[in-house]
């Protein structure tokens, strides 16, 4: 009988700031988590990711390589970050040079089940639940939809 090539990760080779709280099970490896952060269960934070101080990452979030998240951010349940844009017409299949980075500013809140493509998001942005961010967001405000667009500022 064949046996799978089993990789047990858990939490390994992570640089933690002070007072970080992690709820297991989760996979955190080769990343950096700042002071006073919270990481919920069933999350994966991959190699090279940087999570700024006082940021909360809720359950079932996936933060892939090449992502940087600022300070005082909120990443809702089930948020998915994407680094492979299929620029060649299919998955990069090990060609990491085709991956693109994502940079999230400070005080950014990302609602549950949002998908974040390789983009840059300015400080003080709210991303609505279920939104798909496909382009850079350069101005503070609230964005929602697929693709995410700025909501009217009506008073």
Tell me how far apart the alpha carbons of residues 40 and 98 are, in angstroms, rounded to a whole number: 30
Predicted TM-score (pTM) of this structure: 0.92
Per-residue pLDDT at 13 exceeds 90:
yes
In a domain, 2, yes or no: no
Task: List the domain range (segments joined by +) for residue 144.
Answer: 11-88+97-150
pLDDT (tens digit, 9 = 90+) per residue, 127-154? 999 999 999 999 999 999 999 999 976 6
Look at residue 152 in the predicted model and tell me its pLDDT. 78
Backbone region of residue 60 per phi and psi (left: phi > 0; alpha: psi in -120 to 50; beta: other values): left
CA distance 143 to 132: 10
Domain assignment of residue 63, yes or no: yes
Over range 70-77, report the average pLDDT: 98
**Domain-embedded: residue 155:** no
- The total domain count for the chain is 1
Give the pLDDT of residue 97: 84
Name the nearest CA neighbour of 127 among 149, 142, 107: 142
Domain CATH for 49: 2.160.10.10
In a domain, 124, yes or no: yes
Is 5 inside a domain boundary? Answer: no
- For residues 98 and 113, is the Cβ–Cβ distance under 8 A? no
């Amino acid at each position: 009988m064949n046996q799978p090539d089993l990789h047990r990760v858990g939490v390994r080779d992570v640089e933690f700031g002070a007072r970080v709280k992690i709820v297991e099970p989760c996979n955190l490896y080769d990343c950096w988590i700042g002071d006073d952060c919270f990481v919920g269960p069933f999350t994966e934070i991959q190699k090279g990711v940087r999570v700024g101080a006082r940021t909360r990452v809720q359950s079932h979030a996936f933060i892939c390589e090449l992502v940087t998240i600022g300070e005082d951010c909120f990443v809702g349940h089930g948020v998915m970050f994407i680094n492979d844009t299929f620029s060649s017409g299919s998955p990069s299949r090990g060609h990491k040079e085709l991956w693109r980075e994502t940079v999230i500013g400070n005080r950014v809140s990302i609602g549950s089940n949002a998908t974040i493509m390789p983009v840059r998001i300015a400080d003080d942005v709210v991303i609505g639940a279920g939104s798909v961010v496909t382009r850079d967001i350069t101005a503070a405000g609230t964005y929602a939809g697929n693709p995410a667009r700025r909501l009217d500022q009506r008073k």
